[in-house]
Amino acid sequence: MSEKTASRRPQTAEKDEASLPAPVTAADRIVLEIRKFIAAAIFFNTQAAEKAKLGLTDMQMLNMLHLYGPSTPGRLGTWTGLSSGGVTVALDRLEKSGYIRRNPNPADRRSVLITPIPKRMRKLTALYEGVESETRRLLATMPQGDLEAVIRFFEALQAERDGG
């Protein structure tokens, strides 16, 4: 075989170890789409934090307080995976910048409740209005049964994350 003929043969592609295998099942596709969504959400939240002149950790701490309401530092640590020291440092920054208030916890006098300051939170929620409107428009096009299945899935996923 001549050198020319050999060079025309397709070369066997080396397996790209950095690539994910093509999704085969519906579950594979869902997992892949969730990973893509999470990656995009992280970048979106990073940009929102930059616009608010906050670090990503501080921005997400405020998001948790906005989503779940006033909380103890311990609960914030559980939700975020941060150490108690990491939570304290983030809360110190947020308190100093006027985003939160530490109040005595009426249920446990040894702890405090972290409460977001509504006026400051309005500035942050405005950063999410566009993406929320876009999401609601898309959801309005889907059948109710599909929406209920998505809700059940995310509730089950959260319950699993919370320990069953």
Per-residue DSSP letter, 18: T
Residue 92 or 6, more confident: 92
- Predicted local distance difference test score (pLDDT) of residue 23: 77
Per-chain mean pLDDT for the chain: 89
Helix axes 73-80, 56-68, angle to 10 degrees: 110
Cα–Cα distance measured from residue 57 to residue 44, given in angstroms and rounded to the nearest whole number: 14
116 DSSP β-pair partners: 100
Question: Do the beta carbons of residue 78 and residue 45 sit within 8 Å?
Answer: no
Cα–Cα distance measured from residue 116 to residue 107, given in angstroms and rounded to the nearest whole number: 18
pLDDT in tens, 91-145: 999 999 999 999 999 999 899 999 999 999 998 999 999 999 999 999 999 999 9
User: What's the CA angle centered on 12, arms 9 and 13, to 5 degrees?
Assistant: 130
Least confident of 7-16, 22-31, 50-59, 153-162: 7-16
Concatenate the DSSP letters of all residues of 27-82 into one string: HHHHHHHHHHHHHHHHHHHHHHHHHTT--HHHHHHHHHHHHH-SB-HHHHHHHH--
- Predicted local distance difference test score (pLDDT) of residue 16: 62
State the pTM of this model. 0.78
Task: Check whether 13 has a pLDDT greater than 70.
Answer: no
